[in-house]
Chains A and B, each alone.
Chain A
Amino acid sequence: METNFNQPQRQSSIGILVMFVDSLQKFARAFWPIILVSLFKVDNLSKLYVFLAIIGAIVVVGVIAYLRYLNFTFYIDDVNDEFIVNDGVINKTKTTIQLNKIQQVNIHQNLIQRLIGVYALSVDTAGSDKKEGNIKAISHPLALALKSKLLDNENLKTVVSDENTVEVQETIPTSETHPFLKIKLTSLFKIGITSNYVKSIGLILTFFFTIIENLHQIGKEDVIDEDKIETAISNYPAIYAILVFVVVMFTIIFLINIVRTIVKYFNFSIAKQKGSLLLSYGLINTESTILKPEKVQIVNISRNYFQKKLNVLEIKIKQATSDEKKQKKNLIEIPGCNSQERDEILKLLFNQLPERGVMMRPNFRKLVFSIFLTIILPLTGFFIFGTKVDAIVFQYSHFAVFYTVFLLLIHLFGFRNYRLFVSDNHIIKQSGAWDVDNEIIEIKKIQAITTSQLFWHKNLNIGSLTLHTAGGNLSFYLGEYNTIKEYVNLWLYEIETSDSNWI
């Protein structure tokens, strides 16, 4: 079925419901203080008024949703090659997106959309940081058709420019995408128990403090009785309390991690589609993203000791962005592949498997410097404070010992893993103490190169290197400066003699 998008058309009629819930959410977000107050003061007001107000609000929201539905149209202007979205009830907005500017078309579903069986489609351009052309309710076949239509345009362009490929293009059957990689639930499980500890601890702490703060605000802090907790703790030896605390903490972290990973990445599948990759995942909200290999700037493969034993790893892909704020959003994560799957993905992204090539090590001064900065300086401060100001801090000296040992281990392993590998087409930087990251960039995607040297390193032949790409920087500190300079000259030569488009 060939769908025609040249005429302005509305969303699926069931989309009124999505609009309704969306408007209701916005309404609730705007008026929640009033709603909250009227809920608490409900005794003072007549219940009838409250009831009428709620009914009134729902009717108003319903009308707004209906008007929004009526006024929302979208179509593709074939003459100017533009995708046009009309939106707005009182303030009308007409968003025009040039088809060749479209970077990504995402199809996703939130809970309500999933319940009524429609999809949201959003168009992502390089220009602005918010998603443009957001269609909230569209049936699945229509979404796929529109998506292929929006992205097809780019193919047409290449066909026009290169006439030889016309027939080839046409003979390729536009087959339904078949996933070439599916991430198993067990892999997600493995990733869940082996990563993001720090992030989860942060989450727990924020959660905890928000609850306490909220309890304070409504004046009900006595729900948590500090005395009770203190007596409960003091009944047991300190070691025991700490042990219990650690065990409980880890259990919670594991649970949160597993649930989060599975909810976010459930049924993660990657399919090839006209030279780009189609990723889709999610348990509650289904996300689907298109990834074009030529937009990929930095690929980071990270794996820690446990993950190595379990043969899982995480891939993060940074794409070209126009501004730094967007960088986070444009990061694509592929959790839980094994080495073989990793190689296949890399082959797709780079057309070949990046080799590790020549290895560069950092100077031992890098280790000395980081130890000085994070261990010796704080410890000196600690001792000066203890002797000159207040000796009470020495009671906590076992923390200082723990801190020193911990950081020393991190620095030692970090230094051991800190390497730069240079091959003909790729540069790989390996770093990290526990999670070992391998960042891969292509030499032809380098935008600019900075070398730097501290003035006291001039005679030691030590210097640093920063490679700037459209997806972020890659730095290697305190390497052998002559070698670095030699490579920089070679890379500059390669970049400047090639006329390939960088992006």
Chain B
Amino acid sequence: MEEFTNEVIDTKQLPRYEEVQLTPLHPKYWKVALINFSIVFVIIGIALTLLWFNKEEFSDIGLYFAITYFIVLLFSLFINRIAFKKKAYAFRNHDVIYRSGIISTNTMVIPYNRVQHVALHEGFVSRIFGLAKVEIFTAGGSSSDLEIPGIEKEEAENIKQLLMGKIQKQL
């Protein structure tokens, strides 16, 4: 029989997940977010303009529509910026930490020995900037899956390899 010890765990001495220095998303990812954001708003804008010119009823209240449109646009831009600023991640020896959220700050921790598989996703816009998204899946269903966007392709590839190695070791 191996030597067996069973000492009391000092909970104060445990590594603290909340004090880990998190890496923010790559600055280029903000450009990706902006492009995606403008695509959506350009389409809505075109639709509204078409409505304005073609429908008689809209010509009177068109100005209000334009104002509302710009307020919504600015507000969404603001929200997007906060969301981008808040997102950060860290890979520790035994788990991955991801922080996100606008009104509330959510911090998710997934231990590597609970990861089922890892995937790499490159969006159309992201690929232009050489960025990728790491997707981490557990058995806990969609609520406990993790998507970390805005990581440089090469680094993302490394992360995937690292995680795959960790998973394989467990098996």
Q: Would you call B109 and A492 a contact (CB within 8 A)?
A: yes
Chain A interface SS verdict (over half): mixed
Tell me if A212 is interfacial: C-beta within 8 Å of chain B: no
Q: Which one of A454, A488, A490 contacts B104 once the chains associate, using CB atoms below 8 Å?
A: A454
Q: Which one of A453, A455, A499, A503 contacts B139 once the chains associate, using CB atoms below 8 Å?
A: A503
Tell me if B14 is interfacial: C-beta within 8 Å of chain A: yes
Within 8 Å CB of A466, what residues of B? Answer: 143
Q: Would you call B104 and A455 a contact (CB within 8 A)?
A: yes
What total of chain B residues lie within 8 Å of the partner, measured CB to CB? 31
Q: Which one of B11, B109, B141 contacts A449 once the chains associate, using CB atoms below 8 Å?
A: B109
0/1 per residue, A302-340, Cβ < 8 Å to B?
A: 000000000000000000111110000000000000000
Within 8 Å CB of B41, what residues of A? Answer: none
Q: Would you call A320 and B18 a contact (CB within 8 A)?
A: no
Give chain A interface residues in 466-480, CB to chain B under 8 Å.
466, 468-470, 472-473
Q: With A321-B141, A486-B11 known to touch, is A492 a contact of B111 (CB < 8 Å)?
A: yes
In the complex, how many angstroms separate the beta carbon of A160 from the nearest chain B beta carbon? 17
Bound-complex Cα distance A86 to B94 (A)? 46
Q: Would you call B139 and A320 a contact (CB within 8 A)?
A: yes
Bound-complex Cα distance A319 to B110 (A)? 20
Chain B interface SS verdict (over half): mixed
What total of chain A residues lie within 8 Å of the partner, measured CB to CB? 34
Q: Which one of A450, A454, A485, A496 contacts B95 once the chains associate, using CB atoms below 8 Å?
A: A496
Tell me if A452 is interfacial: C-beta within 8 Å of chain B: yes
Q: Would you call B141 and A499 a contact (CB within 8 A)?
A: no
In the complex, how many angstroms separate the beta carbon of A56 from the nearest chain B beta carbon? 49
Within 8 Å CB of A488, what residues of B? Answer: 17, 109
Bound-complex Cα distance A450 to B103 (A)? 15
Bound-complex Cα distance A488 to B86 (A)? 21
In the complex, how many angstroms separate the beta carbon of B135 from the nearest chain A beta carbon? 14
Given A323-B141, A473-B143, A489-B15, output 4 extra A-B contacts at Cβ < 8 Å.
Answer: A446-B114, A449-B108, A450-B109, A488-B17
Query: Contact residues of A with B, CB < 8 Å?
Result: 320-324, 446-455, 464, 466, 468-470, 472-473, 485-486, 488-490, 492-493, 495-496, 499, 502-503
